[in-house]
Chains A and B, each alone.
Chain A
Amino acid sequence: MIEVKQVTKVYDQFPVLNEIDVCLPEEKIIAFIGSNGTGKSTLLSIIGRTLEKNGGHVYIDDIELALWKSQELAKHLSILQQAQQSIVRLTVEELVGFGRFPHSQGRLSQEDQQHINRAIAYLELDHLRTRYLDELSGGQRQLAYIAMVLAQDSHYIFLDEPLNNLDMKHATQIMKVLRKLVDELHKTVLVVIHDINFVSYYSDHIIALKEGKIVAQGSTDEIIRPDVLKEIYDIEMTIKEIDGKRFCLYFE
C-alpha cells in the first residue's frame, strides 16, 4: 500500500505541491489528472523516488521511502518517466534485460530470461527483439520501455504520460496492456494521462490535482461528471454515455 502524508515540493520558492495527503488503492489503474503545471508528474516522481521532496512522508508498504534499500525498492516499484532524453543504441531484448538488473545485477539467470521473454510477448514485440531502439518508431520504443518495466516485475508500476505523442493504435495497445497488468497480474498501476477519455475508458480510480493540491479523488464514476470536471479543468464538459462507458466532449 502507498500512503502519502503532507508531501510538499517547492521549486525556487514557488510551491508546486502543497501538503498532499493521499492513500492509493491497490490493484487498480490509478490516473493522475489535472491541467499542465498542477504537479501531477512531480507527485508521481516523488512517490516513485526519482525526485526529492521538501517535506512530508511517503510510505510504501508501511516503510518510509528514505528507509528502503534502493535495490530492494526497485523490485517493488518501477517508474517510467516522460520520453527518455537520450536514445541509447540497445536492442529491444537488451533494454528489456536491464529491467532484471535489480534482481540479477546484470547476470541473467534462466528465470530472468523467462521474465524477459514473457514481457516481450506481452507487448507483442517478438518480431522486434533484435532491432535497435533508434531504428524503431516512437510508439514501438514506448512499448519496449514498458516491456522493460514489466520485466522488472514490481508490484507498483508508475508511468508518466506513457501516451505522449502516440497514435491511437499504440495508445490503446498500451492502455490494454495496463488493464491486463491489473486484471491478470494484480499489479497497481499509476499513470499520468492528459486525454480524459482514455482515463474515463480505462482507469478505475482518479486523483485530480489543481494548483498543487488534490481537488478530487474517487472511483472513475465519481469523478467523470460535469460538475467535478468543471472544478478540475475550469471548462464545461458534456458527458455522453455509450455502451455503459462515459465520454467527455469539451470541444465547444
Chain B
Amino acid sequence: MGGDTILFQKYYRTIYLIAFVLLAVYSLSIGVQDFSFTALLNGESSQLTLAVISRLPRLASILLTGAMLSVAGMIMQSITSNKFVSPSTAGTMEWCRFGVMIAMVLFSQATTGQKVFIAFIIALLGTMLFMKILQKVKIKDQVMTPLIGMMLGSVVSSVTTFVAYRLDIIQNMSSWLQGSFALILKGNYELLYLGIPCLILSMIYANHFTIAGMGDSFAKNLGLRYEHILFIGLSLVSIMTSIVVVNVGSIAFIGLIIPNLLSMIKGDNVKKNVIDCALWGAGFVLICDIFSRIIIYPYELPISVVVSVVGSILFLFLIRRKKR
C-alpha cells in the first residue's frame, strides 16, 4: 500500500464531510423558487420561509432516508450473512405498503403515525416470515435468496393493489409506489426524525449484528442468542423502512449497494462501518436527488427512478468485481 493511500485513508472522512456539506448547501439552492444565501443572510423573510418550509425539510429527509435505508440494508446483510438481502430484495418494502393499505382501510383518515405503526408491525411480521422460509428452504446459492424475497414481495404487492383497487383507494396508494421528495414540506415529514434514535440503536447493537452473521453457534459461544439479535435487527430494519416508505415512498438499491461497497473496501465489521454506511447512504441519495432536480429542470424526476438507474449500474459493477 502506497503512502498516498494511507494519507487518503487518514483524511478521507474529512474530505468526505467537506464534499458532503458543499453538496448539501448546493441542494438547498436548487428549486423553482429562486433562493440565494446572501438574501437569506440579509434577513429577507421570504427566503427564510422558503428555507424553513421547503428546502431544509427536503434536505433533512434526503439525508435521513439515505442513512436509514443504507444502515437497514447493512443490518440485514449482516444478520443473514447474505450480501443480496436488503429491504427492497426481502419484501420488507412491499410489506410496508401492505401495512399502509391496511392502515387506510382501518382508519379512514389515517395519520402518518398510524400508518408508520401499522406498516412497521406488518413489515416486521412479513420479514420474519421471509426469514422462516429461508431457514426452511436451506438455499445453497446466495443469489436465490433475493429471488425468493422479490417473489414474495410481488405477491404481497399484487394483493395490496387488488385490495386498494377494490376499495377505491388506489389513487392514494400510488404515491407510495415511487419514492419522491417533491412533496416534502414542513409539517408532513417530521416523523423521519424517528430515524435518528433508530440509527443510534443500530450503532449500539453493531457488534451483535456482526456476531449473528457468523452463525447461531458462534453467537451462543459468545453468550448471545441468535434469535434475540435477529429480532432486534429486523425490528430496527422494519421501523426504519416503514418510516421511509410512509414519508417518502419506496426506493430500491440503496440498502443493497452502499453496504456492499463498504464490505468490499472495509470488510464486514458492522461497528467499524456503521457510521460510514449512514454517511455514504446519505451522500448517495443527496447526489441522486440533485440529479433528479436538475436533469429536466424546472421539473423533476422521482428520486426512485434516478436511484434505480445509478444503483443498477453500480450493482452490475459490484457483481463483476465479485466474480473476479
Q: A106 to chain B: which residues have CB within 8 Å?
A: 206-207, 271
Please give me the residue from chain B that is nearest to A71 by CB atom. B223
| Interface size of A in residues (CB-CB distance below 8 Å) | 31
Q: B217 to chain A: which residues have CB within 8 Å?
A: 45, 50, 79, 81
Say which residue of B206, B218, B272 sits within 8 Å of A84 (CB atoms). Answer: B218
Does the CB pair B220–A70 fall under 8 Å?
yes
Q: A86 to chain B: which residues have CB within 8 Å?
A: 81, 213-215
- Interface residue ranges of B187-234 to A (CB < 8 Å): 206-207, 210-211, 213-218, 220-225
Interface SS of chain B: helix
Counting CB contacts under 8 A, is B113 at the interface? no
Q: B222 to chain A: which residues have CB within 8 Å?
A: 74, 98-99, 101-102, 152
Q: B268 to chain A: which residues have CB within 8 Å?
A: 88-90
Shortest distance from the beta carbon of B269 to any chain A beta carbon, whole Å: 5
Asked whether A91 and B267 contact (CB < 8 A) given A79-B217, A84-B218, the answer is yes
- Interface residue ranges of B211-269 to A (CB < 8 Å): 211, 213-218, 220-225, 263, 267-269
Asked whether A89 and B220 contact (CB < 8 A) given A98-B211, A101-B211, the answer is no
A100–B110 alpha-carbon span in the complex (Å)? 48
Q: A84 to chain B: which residues have CB within 8 Å?
A: 214-215, 218
Interface SS of chain A: mixed
| Interface size of B in residues (CB-CB distance below 8 Å) | 23
Which among B215, B218, B272 has the highest number of chain A CB atoms within 10 Å? B218
Counting CB contacts under 8 A, is A22 at the interface? no
Counting CB contacts under 8 A, is A80 at the interface? yes
Asked whether A90 and B218 contact (CB < 8 A) given A70-B224, A71-B223, A74-B223, the answer is no
- Interface residue ranges of A29-70 to B (CB < 8 Å): 45, 48-50, 70
Q: B216 to chain A: which residues have CB within 8 Å?
A: 50
A30–B223 alpha-carbon span in the complex (Å)? 24
Q: B207 to chain A: which residues have CB within 8 Å?
A: 98, 101, 105-106
Does the CB pair A98–B225 fall under 8 Å?
no
- Interface residue ranges of A64-117 to B (CB < 8 Å): 70-75, 78-81, 84-86, 88-91, 94, 98-99, 101-102, 105-106
5 residue pairs of the A-B complex, CB under 8 angstroms, read A88-B210, A88-B268, A90-B210, A98-B211, A102-B223
Known pairs A70-B225, A105-B207. 14 more at Cβ < 8 A? A49-B220, A50-B221, A79-B220, A81-B217, A85-B81, A88-B214, A90-B210, A91-B267, A98-B222, A101-B211, A101-B224, A102-B223, A132-B267, A152-B222
